[in-house]
Chain A
Amino acid sequence: MHLLVGSLHNEWMKRKKRIYFIVFSMIILFLGIFVISILNERYSFIPSNATPNEAADRPTVEDKLIELQLIYDATPVEQIQEKKRLKNQIEWYSYHLSHDIKFEVISDTALDTLKNSMTGIYISFLFPIVMIVIGADILSSEMSSRTIKTMLLRPVGRLMIFHAKLLFVAGVSFLLLVCSYLLFCLLKLNNEWGDWTAEIVVRFGATLHTVPVWFFVFIGLGSNLISVLTLSFVLLCISYFFRNVSLSVVVSMMLVVFIKILLNPFLVAVPADRYYFMYHLDLVSHLLDEFPGNQHLLASLIVLLSTIVVCYSLVYFRINREDLPY
């Protein structure tokens, strides 16, 4: 335990400049967006009183339902997938109606932003890139510069070194993720904060449930944590087996970022997206009925957990047998 804390502290000292840099760039980025949004509002050509407050302009749930029903009826029976998806959506909206839950198609409070940012492209594509910057070379850099020796010559043991690095990448990434969510919220602070206890609808398995927003945020963070953990295991595993800094970073980029582009042409023939972890990082979308595939939350969880198990066992069975540094 003592050794683990010490190792974590060491990792922090080695990487803190890089982490500061990431935080700094994030803050600059968000400040930039913030300034632009303010300028946009002030110098916008659209008269400012025309857009926001008039509820009549916004589509209501009833409108949306009617529209969906029309599309559903028009869809041919052969398109089973599409029909199923539309049916789910209709179910989704009617649930709101029947349970009398406030639903706005466009909403703009800070909490809504938080809710929306926990799902979608951010967690499934952009944040993995940040994680590559944090830790894709965390083991390979020490192996290639041989500084790994300083640790190998201490009574910590190799597995402990691996665990510490893994925990470091996962922990720092998760903290950064949460911080970036907070920044997203801050952007919307000139709008209202939103209601923590408002109810929202989530799909869990075949049925729909209502949960308060705070609970949703809690579950969302948990799902994000699982995604971050999976990515950390994958990155550490790559970093262990590819002992060259640039190679490990490139391989990480290939497997994490470009794989979707590479795989897409083959997806018709081989349903790789069903089993590949990158397609399952966005766990929250299952809850909001927005998951692009047609799998259940459980299937996604199993994919992520098996990825973790595979990566860990690969390292576990190799690390203590190997002659290091080679």
Chain B
Amino acid sequence: MQRNKVIEVNHVSKRLGNRTIIDNLSLHVNEGEIVGFLGPNGSGKTTSIRMMTGMIKPDQGSIKIMGYDIQAEFSLAMKHIGAIVEQPALYGYLSGWENLMQAVRISGMQINKERIEWCVRMVQLQERMQEKVQRYSLGMKQRLAIAQALLTQPKMIILDEPTNGLDPSGIIEMRTLIHKLRDETGVSVFISSHLLSEIEQLCDRVIVIDQGKTLAAKEMSSLGHAAIALTVQDDQLQSAYHLLQLEGLHPVLQNARILIQEEAKRIPSLVNHLYQRGIHVYWIEKTKQSLEDFFLDTTQGKERK
């Protein structure tokens, strides 16, 4: 099924201060999709997002939001997205509510009170709206900024490292919020991060960027399931490998371990089977042969070149 593209970035390059920060970057986000934008610090995530929100101009290439060019049709394009770029910039000396109203008044459309209150409930700030923002914690500021981004019922929200600086419970809250948002409103989410662990559980698809280039884009479902690693004595490695093959599995040798794809409930009998043949299993681990490896593979592979 061909879904509509909410944002389309085509062959964009950008030089800042004599360095090519973004080099021929192309990506897109489909409707209703949560896309992770993954890259180490300084890889150009924020710079890409600043271009996608029209704050800076690409030197080459084009960026289209719902078919509108971000440079030529700025107002039309920006009506469809809500964004937080780097840290949320709020007026500390104004109340939370007034900060929202600031955004409402220049959103270019009628936004009724119910809508604003819905956004507030969504980020669970009902009780703190009359307080000045300078007394908010970072997590609350982030959530208020998300409420601000949601006001216009955008097709997509762009979040630049929304969990940066949050404590673990704040990170979990943020993740739940993003999931809830997508499920209740069908909004696309484009979320950048340098932390794999967060993106992994959240996204339908990830795009990895390093040194301004997209290295890979991958559907989460296409990543391998978690594998199970068995550690045996080194001299028994080969015989264990053959035994597992005879059991109809496809074991993989990795360092001093054997990786297998197997359901958890069959593990005990499998270990027992090996034991009866005189092969002792010392450790059983669940590996994360998932995004982490994928991420490390791609970014490090890049660096070695």
Q: Is the CB of A7 within 8 A of B105?
A: yes
Q: Is the CB of A321 within 8 A of B108?
A: no
The yes or no answer to B54 lying at the interface (CB within 8 A) is yes
When each residue 153-189 of chain A gets 1 if its CB lies under 8 Å from chain B and 0 otherwise, what string results? Answer: 1111100000000000000000000000000000000
User: Nearest-CB distance from B212 to chain A (Å)?
Assistant: 16
Q: How far is B53's CA from A325's CA once the two chains are assembled, in angstroms? A: 12
Q: How far is B79's CA from A14's CA once the two chains are assembled, in angstroms? A: 24
Q: Point out the residue from B16, B83, B99, B106 that lies within 8 Å of A156, measured CB to CB.
A: B106
User: Nearest-CB distance from A109 to chain B (Å)?
Assistant: 44
Which chain A residues numbered 275 to 326 have a C-beta less than 8 Å away from chain B? 321, 323-325
Which chain B residues numbered 113 to 145 have a C-beta less than 8 Å away from chain A? none
Q: Is the CB of A2 within 8 A of B108?
A: yes
Given contacts A6-B105, A7-B105, A13-B98, contact A150 B57 (CB under 8 A): no
Question: Please, which residues of chain A bring their CB within 8 A of the CB of B149?
Answer: 153
Q: How far is B78's CA from A263's CA once the two chains are assembled, in angstroms? A: 48
Binds B, one of A53-61, A70-78, A141-149, A266-274: A141-149
Given contacts A13-B94, A14-B91, A155-B75, contact A150 B102 (CB under 8 A): yes
Sorted nearest first, the 4 A-B pairs with minimum C-beta distance are A6-B105, A323-B56, A155-B78, A155-B75
B151: nearest chain-A partner, CB-CB: A154
Sort chain B's interface into a size bin: 20 to 34
Which chain B residues numbered 7 to 64 have a C-beta less than 8 Å away from chain A? 16, 50, 53-57
The yes or no answer to B279 lying at the interface (CB within 8 A) is no
The yes or no answer to A126 lying at the interface (CB within 8 A) is no
Q: How far is B78's CA from A157's CA once the two chains are assembled, in angstroms? A: 10
Q: How far is B141's CA from A150's CA once the two chains are assembled, in angstroms? A: 13
Tell me what chain B mostly uses at the interface: helix, strand, loop, or mixed: mixed
The yes or no answer to B74 lying at the interface (CB within 8 A) is yes
Q: Point out the residue from B77, B79, B85, B108 that lies within 8 Å of A149, measured CB to CB.
A: B85
When each residue 1-31 of chain A gets 1 if its CB lies under 8 Å from chain B and 0 otherwise, what string results? Answer: 0110111011001100000000000000000
The yes or no answer to B101 lying at the interface (CB within 8 A) is yes
Q: Is the CB of A14 within 8 A of B89?
A: no
Given contacts A3-B106, A321-B57, contact A153 B90 (CB under 8 A): no
Given contacts A156-B75, A157-B74, contact A151 B91 (CB under 8 A): no
Q: How many residues of A contact B (CB 8 A)?
A: 26
Question: Please, which residues of chain A bring their CB within 8 A of the CB of B103?
Answer: 150, 154
Q: Point out the residue from A9, A154, A321, A324 that lies within 8 Å of B78, measured CB to CB.
A: A154
B77: nearest chain-A partner, CB-CB: A155
B108: nearest chain-A partner, CB-CB: A155
Task: Provide a sorted-by-A list of 25 A–B residue pairs whose CB atoms are within 8 angstroms.
Answer: A5-B105, A7-B106, A10-B105, A10-B106, A13-B98, A13-B102, A14-B102, A145-B89, A146-B87, A149-B85, A150-B99, A153-B83, A154-B103, A154-B106, A154-B108, A155-B75, A155-B107, A156-B108, A157-B75, A323-B16, A323-B50, A323-B56, A323-B57, A324-B55, A325-B55
Given contacts A145-B89, A323-B55, A324-B56, contact A155 B94 (CB under 8 A): no
The yes or no answer to A66 lying at the interface (CB within 8 A) is no
